[in-house]
Amino acid sequence: MIVAEDNEAAGGAAAQGADIAQPAGVNTRNGRRPGDAPEGTVFMSRTKSFTRRSRELPPNLARTWDAHAERYVIEPRRGIGYTTVAEDFRLDPVELFGRSAPLTLEIGSGTGEQIVAAAAAHPDRDYLALEVWVPGIAKLVSKAVEAGVDNIRVLEADVAQALPIMLGDACLDEVWTFFPDPWRKARHRKRRLVSDEFALQVARVLRDGGAWRLATDWDDYAWQMRDVIEACPLFENPHVGQRPDPEDPEPQRGGFAPRYEGRVVTHFETRGIDAGRRAHDVVGVRVPRK
């Protein structure tokens, strides 16, 4: 058991009360934020898709946060812990963006390179980001302001907990999961986000014919992504058996997609390329509901 939050940080700080630096503009009282567990609360740990890794914002990002976070950042009602949402929290996309438009969810937006580029290129579409790294959210806001886009909203939340709660059925046109944490050690792979169970949640929020786009530069995770898509009866892999990968241990199956033309080469992907890794794309198309 743990006190108040998980303490498994991939680079990270302990997620307890005063140990977490707060971004500018967030109201606190006695060092705690709205939605925090009462001091001393004990509850069972659960596997998270992300771990909150907050730190003090540098002055330039703090100023951007103060000036623009209200425009882009959604502050939900919280459950127990920083990255949870309350059980009664719901998002209405039309109310959120002030219009009805095709909606894409990016899971793990990092510093916003991908989603801001997409929002700038497609002003007729709306984009929702889920991220738990507050400095990354601040950088996303800074990029959105610089690009002059208003069709992005970002929420600090753990998608594994928040997605089943906050979005209704068939409300998204696309879901992007680009370069999720690979949890490289074999004993940690059960923590990977892309799983048979999570696929069902993604299928629930996608409209018929909507796409779940995935990418990773870890080979074994790419095979896992492909297998999850092909094992889920609610998705079709339009590239099954095509473009066999010579490094695939089952090359006769293929199943990898061409690089999604809307996926930009981010700094994160560049670091993988420099380390000798190459990205694999996978796509699942939501089959029609009966």
- In this prediction, residue 81 carries a pLDDT of 83
Architecture of domain 48-286: 3-Layer(aba) Sandwich (3.40)
The string of pLDDT tens digits covering residues 231-255 is 999 999 999 877 656 666 666 667 9
Q: Which of 36, 181, 217, 245 does the annotation list as catalytic? A: 181
- In this prediction, residue 98 carries a pLDDT of 97
What are the residue ranges spanned by the domains of the chain?
Answer: 48-286
- In this prediction, residue 240 carries a pLDDT of 87
- In this prediction, residue 252 carries a pLDDT of 62
HSE-CB for 108 with a 13 A CA cutoff:
21
Give CA torsion, residues 73, 126, 106, 55, to 10 deg: -20
Active site residue 274: no
- In this prediction, residue 247 carries a pLDDT of 67
Give the chain's residues under pLDDT 50.
Answer: 1-54
- In this prediction, residue 51 carries a pLDDT of 41
CA-closest candidate to residue 164, choices 238, 86, 221? 86
